[in-house]
Amino acid sequence: MGVFVGELHISTQAQEIVREITAPLQKGDYVIFNPTNDKGKEVEFRIDDAREVIAQSYLASQRERFIILSAPSYSIESQNALLKILEEPPQNVHFVLIAPSKNALLPTILSRLHTHIHKIQKTFAPFELDCKKLTLAGIYEFLRECDRQNRTTTEIKEHIQALLFALHKSAIVLTRAELEAFDEAIKLADSYVRESYIFLPLLLKIHNKQKGGR
């Protein structure tokens, strides 16, 4: 199987996406995981939901089966569990995740899924540093400015995404370990860690990469 083992659909109209995907399929060829509370409201995808997905994924089938996950957010624990099966997917299983934003998922999850955006894509402000010409002095000034901005958790995660986009635009390919560093950055943002502390190891890794380091 290739790099991508499924699809990610970015949309706030999850039910429409589910209908489009399942319309041409037979009933037994797909299963939908859409956690809700006792009032029918969609809730976060949690570790117990991920365990159910994993169990369902290993049911034998001679035909391609679609495992469809839809939630407004995905817990870090559930994503870590899902990552294991996305890295070594069972035969004939195709994963489809639906989320309202890329920020809902870790970079290592995103790297395994072919992304389809069904809404106007949010435009990030250009990242402040030239990723191809990082200097220690430039990194230092950038980190000082980060602390002056006092961004919210959401804004910090968007800033991390802006760095990822800048790296992609600069044709800088990240290794698995480097992608995991971005996963850790997202977790730190959710834990209200100071923004400069989050960006320091990321930027030093990129700077070291430019210098031919490992």
| Domain shared by 71 and 164, yes or no | no
Give the mean pLDDT of 45-56: 96
How many domains, in total, are found in the chain? Answer: 2
What is the band of 120 on the pLDDT scale with cuts at 50, 70, 90? low
DSSP string, 143-165: HHHHHHH---HHHHHHHHHHHHH
| Domain shared by 13 and 77, yes or no | yes
CB 54 within 8 A of CB 86: no
Give the mean pLDDT of 147-155: 90
pTM above threshold 0.85: no
For tokens 């402040």, name the residue.
Answer: 128
| Domain shared by 171 and 106, yes or no | no
Boundary residue ending a domain (117, 147, 179)? 117
Range of the domain at 63: 6-117
Does residue 124 belong to any structural domain of this protein? Answer: no
| Domain shared by 106 and 11, yes or no | yes
- For position 113, which CATH number holds? 3.40.50.300
pLDDT, tens only, 19-29 = 999 999 998 89
